[in-house]
Structures are given as structure tokens and as C-alpha cells.
Chain A
Amino acid sequence: MSTTVAQHRTRPPAQPASLRAKRLPKYAPPAIAVGAVAVAAAVVYGTGIGGPVLVVAVAALLYLVGLFAAAHAVEGRRSARNRTWSALIHSAFVLAVLPLASVVWTLVSKGVERLDGNFFGTSMNNIGARDANGGAYHAIVGTLEQVGIAALITVPLGILCAIYIVEYGRGRFAFAIRFFVDVMTGIPSIVSGLFVLAFWVLVVSPVFNDGRPGFSGFAAALALSVLMLPTVVRSTEEMLRLVPAPLREGAYALGVPKWKTILRVVLPTALPGIVTGVMLAIARAAGETAPVLLVAGGGAAINFNPFENNQSSLSLFVYQQAGDASKYAPARAWTAALTLVALVLILTIAAKLLARRNRLGR
């Protein structure tokens, strides 16, 4: 740009009508697109090497090359790059939306097939390969109980841990705890399942269970709480840090002891944010399959007792039905998947809306 300005200064009579640089006409990009599709169709169908998908792929490539060439000729190299990258970024978006939209569409269209009262009111007990009905009642019971117990374990532990990190922890030890909470976020769900298998199912529970390994809903809850704990700690920690310092200082100035300040002033202020974090953690835990598969056993009958005998869960139900040879199994799997996604998304959306309404600071 500076060079053109300098040129204009030296040769005033040659000044163009407009101050702006030459631009591609508005109709050029669509025209290039149409041309690219035409050439691609001619090449692909002419040689007979593919179908409409290949036409689109080749046309996209030709469009990018054509756009770059045209812009380079008219507007220069920098603008040509700008246009090409812009087109690439937009196409990345389209490319990713297609499969994600397909997931959502399949989920809804296949899921409504068995979305009836029978599905939510019966279990898979005594349902053979030729029976069309059968449902996920036992799995829903299992999911709710396991996630509920996991939340009961995780929420107090996670909040206390976050309070230690933010309010009391100093120096190397607190840093180590923070660091390992972060590291714990990345533990694969199957590893937490294996841990509870090695710890609870094979070592501890045989003590109460006549020496037999005790697969149970409670074991699944333990595995889920290993996964939930870091999420709860991290979100609580962030919320506690957002509580304005003057609130704390005001309480201290009035002579309130520190522990009481934390319980009566800091925690209530941060409460909405903490609830959001807990709900997100619950949503994540509800969708986990691998740990439940390893330690809950996965029965077909309704079992309300999480401490004894096998229990199923919604995600495990989806996995089991997907592997079932019965021709009615896929419909059950899709409906259970739809139920699971609905449960998870309702929790997630509620949590995000809550977070948006009660935003602290930021």
C-alpha cells in the first residue's frame, strides 16, 4: 500500500478514479464456483471414476485454485491469500457440520421408533431375541443411582479440596495438589474402571461377599466419582477465586473467623457457579460406558439395590443392545441413546444457562 501511495505522489495525473485498490467484481467468486462445478462434473463423469461426492470434492479444490488465480491476477498476492484462507476456513466449518448434523439427525429419527411407555416401564428381564418389546427401566434406575451416589461422594470431597487449594493451601504441597487435579482430568475412563476393579471389586468387596468379586452399582459409582472429582474441584476452585476480596476482608474486619467466613460468605457467593460445575460433571459421568462395563456387571433385571448384585446403566444398555444379534436390538439401542443424550443435554444446557445468569465478575 505504501508503495502505491508513493507512486501517486510522484505522478499525480495518473491517480485512479477511486482511492481503493482494484478489486475482484462481486460476481467473480460465484462465477468461479459454477465454473469449477462444471469442470469437475465433466472430468469426473467423463472419465467415470466416481459419483457426486467426488464432483463436490474436485469442484472445491478447483474453486480454491481458481479463486487464488483470479484474485492474484486482479488484486495481488496478499489479497489472494486472504481470500483463499477465508474460503478454507468456511469450508472447514461446512465439513465438520455435516457429520455432526448426521449424528443428531440419526439419533432423533431412529430414536423415536421405540419412544413409548413400554420402553420406559419395563426391563430386559426374560426378553428373548424374538421379543420386540423390552425396555430400559432397569438401566435408567441404574444410571440415576450410580450418578447420584457418585455425586454424593464427589461434591463434599471436591468442594473441600477446592477450599484447601484456594483458601488454605500454600507452597509446594498445594501446587502439587493443583497439578495432580489437572492431571487427573485426563485419566481415561477405562483406567478408572480398571482401578475400581482392582481395588474394590477384586480386593475390598470380597471381604463382605464370601470371597466372590462383588460387581455392583456402588463400584460403578466409585469409578464415576474418580472421573467427576477433578471436574468438580476445578470448577469450584475457579468460582472461589472469583469471589471478590472485599467480601472476605469485610468479614475478617468484623472479627469473623476464617472458617466461618468461608462457609457463610465465600461459599454462598460462589454457590451458583459451583452448582454449574457439579451439573456438568454429572452430565459427563452419566454418559460414561467403559467404567460401568467393567465394574457394574450389567444385569437385565431391575435391581434397586446399588450395593449388591449386578446393575446396568443407560450407556451400558446402549452398548449391550448394539452388540445384540436380535433384529429388535438396534431400535432399543437408538432409543436408549436418545434418552441418554436428552438427559445429558438437559443437564448441560441447564448448567450453562445457570452460569450465564449468575456470572460472577469476569
Chain B
Amino acid sequence: MGETPPRSADAGTGGIHVASGHGRPAGASARVAEAPVSTRTPGGDGLGGGGGLPRARAFGAERAFRGLTLAAGTAVLVIIAAIAVFLIAKAVPALRANTANFWTYEGWSPNDTAPKFGIGTLAFGTVLSSALALLIAVPVALGIALYLSHYAPRRLGTALGFLIDLLAAVPSVVFGLWGRDIFVNPVRDFSVWLNTYFGWIPIFGGDGPFGKSIMLGALVLAIMVLPIITSLSREVFLQTPTANEEAALALGATRWEMIRTAVLPYGRPGIIAAVMLGLGRALGETIALAMTLGITFGISFNLIENGGNTIAANIANAFGEANDTGRGALIASGLVLFTITLIVNITARAIIYRRREFTESAA
């Protein structure tokens, strides 16, 4: 039909209830919208009577808008690339100036005239604290998620789930402050107790001082990633098809057997992804660890003596007095952290994408 576009456009937007309720989305878009209206009025020479489909114009609003969104999408790729490029560009001069081996040297003094710094101890501390934190947090988080999804009364589960989501939003600096001022006391008592009775095990050995240790850092980290892993895996558990659960129960399974045979296998990819995301968060955590660890350099498996350091915490602590080479060295360590988290995240995302295909084909 040879309807004039302006009329049909107004009918299209005005006729839909939701759109009319909100009015025009933004001033800019309203202004852009007027352009074709003026060119295609019936009195104009754009379209003759019954002129069929409107022709695509080389520089129409459609193309401009499409180009705008394309540019925004490309910006994401540009930002990721820029992060890598700028970090490398600033890290290379510092790495050239380094007089020690970057991978094996135990220490961090890049501000000297002969700069010496090594990533080994920091990477070790980062991996150790994150691994410990996950070791503590994952079983507890899965327990809470199961409790909220399958054990607690429905209303209580929803309310507590909301609360857990809120706790995931609490800033890390607050956890760091709490760990440094409050939580350090019970952890120190526990460390002394462990040292007294289990001091013969090397990880609980040493002769103090105790408290601001890898254990405190890992526990604070565990408490921080707990809400994240819980809220993600709770959602996965809630998505288990009711038919699977009821089938298990109808075959006489106890509640635990139902969870083991229906809920956990269904949720396994989701759990893995949640754990990997928690790991990514733990690896990159800065402020809480900068406040709770007793910054030292050296590779040690001792969990309870003051000490420990991570890449991110070192950046926060050493940044204040860093000179040009010092900043470059910190950026180089940040590049290593970026690479580690990138690998962890890409793995997690790959698992999620595979799961998405799996559920779509199953549905």
C-alpha cells in the first residue's frame, strides 16, 4: 500500500500502550526521528502516489543509527585491546631496567638505582590465598545454596537469598576493615592454638607473631566470595526441572538422593562456572588483602605466621612511594594478573557457553 510513512510511524508508536506510557525516550532520539518526516511528506517529491516500498538511502537515519551501535560494540573490543597495549607499553621499559630475574627474584625494590623485582612470590601468594579461599568457600557456599533452594521453607529461602545477594554488593574495603579490626583476634587465637597442638605440621609451624597471616587473608577472601558463589549456584539449583526432581522422589529416593541424582548433575556446569567466577574475583581482590595480610616477600607455605602478599595487594601498598620504574614494575605485575584472570574467565565463559547450547538442545 502506498501509505505515507509519517502516518504509519505515528500509528506504530502511539498505538502501542507501553511506548505511549513512557513518552519519547530521549531528546536526541526525538530530534533524529523528525528528519525523515519532513522529507517524506505527501506534498514533497520523495514518493509518488502508491510508490511502493521506501528505498534505502545512503545516509539515512537507519544507517547512521546502525553505525552508531556498531561503533559502541567495537568500543568494547578497542578497550580490551587498549588495556593490553597500554599495560605492555608501560611495563616493557621497567622490565628492561630490571637487574634481577622477573620470574624468580624474591623481593620488590624497583625504586632503587639498580631496580630489582620479581613476580614469583607475589604470584605464589595470589594463587595460594585464592586456592585456600575457594577450598573453604565452595563447600560452604554449595551447602547454603542447597539449603536455600531445597531445604528452607520457600518464603524463608527467597528472603535469605535476597539477603545473600545484598551481601554480595558490600564493598571489599568494608570486609578488609572488618578483617583487620575484628576478625584478626579470633584468627590469632586459633592460630596460637593450632601452633600449640599441631605445630609439628609445617604449615602450622613457626614461632610467631601470628594473626595477619595467609590464613586471615584467605578466610576474609572466602567470606567475600561466599555470597557470589552462593547466589549463582542457588539460581542454577532452582532451575532444575521439577520433573527430574519429582521423578527421583517418585522412585523412592530420599531428599539427599534426589539432590545427588537430579539437582547436582543438572547444575554441575553452572557450579563450575560459579566457582571459576569466584576464583576470578578472589585473584583480583585488592583492598581486603592489602589490609589483612602482613606484607612480606618470600615463598612459604606457613599459613599462620604474619606474612603473605599478593600481586594486587602489592600494587595497592607499593604504589604510594613508586617512582617511574616502580610504576612500570607494578604495571608489569598487573599485566601478569590480567593474564591469569583472563585465562580463568575465558575458561569459565567457555563452560557457560557450552552449557547454554546443552540446555537449549535439551529443551
Which A residues have a C-beta under 8 Å from some C-beta of B? 1, 49-50, 53-54, 78-79, 81-82, 85-86, 88-93, 95-96, 99-100, 102-103, 106-107, 110, 156-158, 160-161, 163-165, 167-169, 174, 176-177, 179-192, 194-195, 197-199, 202-203, 226, 229-230, 233, 247, 250-251, 254-265, 267-269, 271, 280, 283-284, 286-290, 293-294, 315, 318-319, 322-323, 330, 333-334, 337, 340-341, 344-345, 348-349, 352
Query: Of all chain A residues, which has the CB nearest B180?
Result: A322
> Is B90's CB within 8 Å of the partner chain A?
yes
Do B172 and A289 have beta carbons less than 8 Å apart? yes
Main SS class of interface, B = helix
- Is B257's CB under 8 angstroms from A82's CB? yes
In the complex, residue of chain B having the shortest beta-carbon distance to the beta carbon of A102: B182
Chain A residue numbers with a CB within 8 Å of B29 are: 263-264
Among B285-327, those with CB < 8 Å from A are 285-287, 291, 312, 315-316, 319, 327
Interface residues of B in 80-96 (CB under 8 A from A): 80, 82-83, 86-87, 89-90
Q: Nearest residue in B to A179 (C-beta to C-beta)?
A: B349
Q: Given A161-B76, A168-B69, A254-B8: A195 and B87 within 8 A (CB)?
A: yes
- Asked if B72 contacts A188 (CB within 8 A), the reply is no
Does B207 sit within 8 A of A, measured CB to CB? no
Q: Which residue of A lies closest to B18 (CB)?
A: A269
Kindly count the residue-residue contacts between A and B in the assembled complex, taking CB atoms under 8 Å apart: 317
B135 at the interface (CB under 8 A from A): no
Does B114 touch A at the CB level, under 8 Å? Answer: no
B266 at the interface (CB under 8 A from A): no
Residues of A within 8 A of B247 (CB): none
Q: Are B341 and A186 in contact (CB under 8 A)?
A: yes
Q: Is B58 an interface residue (CB 8 A)?
A: no
Between A161, A188, A260, the greatest number of chain B beta carbons within 10 A of the residue's beta carbon is seen for A188
Say yes or no: A264 contacts B291, CB within 8 Å: no
Minimal beta-carbon separation of B267 from chain A (angstroms): 15
B169 engages A344 (CB within 8 Å)? yes
Choose the segment among B102-110, B117-125, B208-216, B276-284 that binds chain A (4+ C-beta atoms closer than 8 Å). B276-284
- Closest 6 A/B residue pairs (Cβ): A188-B284, A92-B143, A287-B171, A160-B72, A186-B345, A164-B69
Given known A191-B337, A195-B86, A202-B90, contact A93–B76 (CB-CB < 8 A):
no
Cβ of B229 to closest chain A Cβ, rounded Å: 11
Check B284 against A190 for contact (C-beta < 8 Å).
Answer: yes
Which of A88, A158, A247, A319 is the one whose CB lies under 8 Å from B287?
Answer: A319
Whether the pair A103, B8 counts as a contact (CB closer than 8 A) is: no
When the two chains form their complex, are residues B76 and A92 in contact, meaning their CB atoms are under 8 A apart?
A: no
- Choose one: B33, B180, B281, B341; the contact of A260 (CB below 8 Å): B33
